[in-house]
Amino acid sequence: KQEVTQIPAALSVPEGENLVLNCSFTDSAIYNLQWFRQDPGKGLTSLLLIQSSQREQTSGRLNASLDKSSGRSTLYIAASQPGDSATYLCAVIANTGNQFYFGTGTSLTVIP
Amino acid sequence: EPEVTQTPSHQVTQMGQEVILRCVPISNHLYFYWYRQILGQKVEFLVSFYNNEISEKSEIFDDQFSVERPDGSNFTLKIRSTKLEDSAMYFCASSRGSYNSPLHFGNGTRLTVT
């Protein structure tokens, strides 16, 4: 069964810093990987989706990379802002089905 | 921007009662999902639905659960004979395609079973 792990569980940085969130998964047979943001009491907002054939995706200050063979993905956030404070989740979809497997998330706090 | 809407936002029910959680997916999406998140735990897949039938379900989704798309817009999750351990946030999601389209989530229904 696919297991998704995110490190660190929590991260606190001063505003303006660049930061990297890590995601690892045990089974490399995936269709894609998606990064989400979750604000307290809210649903999940899709940030970036990387197809299994891609190496990275960019959206604004966010850049996500995927190394499928090693079972790793990173989410890079440039010039962090207090509004980036949230929990960031990664999820992978296996190529044997259509369910996403989620990590436990990284809780990010950006200090003004 | 179109979004997935869920009602109610919070549902309190007594153990043994039945609840129906409602969702309106994005209108041009074809795939619909229910996920749940027990407090402090991972988001877990329950079921996916396509072409008016279940396409995949997890071991959590046993006979206590059922899904329905009663009309062209609503997608419901019914939980029969609720248990304390059913307390969780239930998220509905939809996507345009199955594998290569991003998932769009609703804000969730917080179910509390007392």
pLDDT per position as a tens digit, B62-105: 999 999 998 878 999 999 999 999 999 999 999 998 777 889 99
- Which residue bears the tokens 């998330």? A105
Distance from CA of B102 to the nearest CA of A (A): 6
Work out whether strand B75-79 and strand B19-24 pair parallel, antiparallel, or are unpaired.
antiparallel
Q: How many angstroms separate the CA atoms of A94 and A25, rounded? A: 11
pLDDT band at B15 (very low <50, low <70, confident <90, very high): very high
What pLDDT shows up at residue B98? 72
Q: pLDDT 10s per residue in chain A (112 long)?
A: 899 999 999 999 999 999 999 999 999 989 899 999 999 888 899 999 999 899 999 999 999 999 999 999 999 999 999 999 999 999 999 877 778 999 999 999 999 9
Task: List the structure tokens of B80.
Answer: 């029969």
What pLDDT shows up at residue B2? 72
Determine the 3-state secondary structure of A13 from DSSP. strand
Distance from CA of B106 to the nearest CA of A (A): 5
Q: Tell which of B10, B33, B35, B43 to mutate to test the A interface (max A CBs under 10 Å).
A: B43
Contact A99 B103 (CB under 8 A): no
pLDDT above 90 for B40: no
Quick one: how far is CA A104 from the chain centroid? 10
Q: Tell which of A44, A46, A93 to mutate to test the B interface (max B CBs under 10 Å).
A: A44
What would the 3-class secondary structure string for chain B be?
Answer: CCCCEEECCEEEECCCCCEEEEEECCCCCCEEEEEEECCCCCEEEEEEEECCEEEEECCCCCCCEEEECCCCCCEEEEECCCCHHHCEEEEEEEECCCCCCCCEECCCEEEEEC
Over residues B41-54, the mean pLDDT reads 93
What pLDDT shows up at residue A94? 83
Helix, strand, coil in percent for chain A, rounding step 5: 5, 60, 40
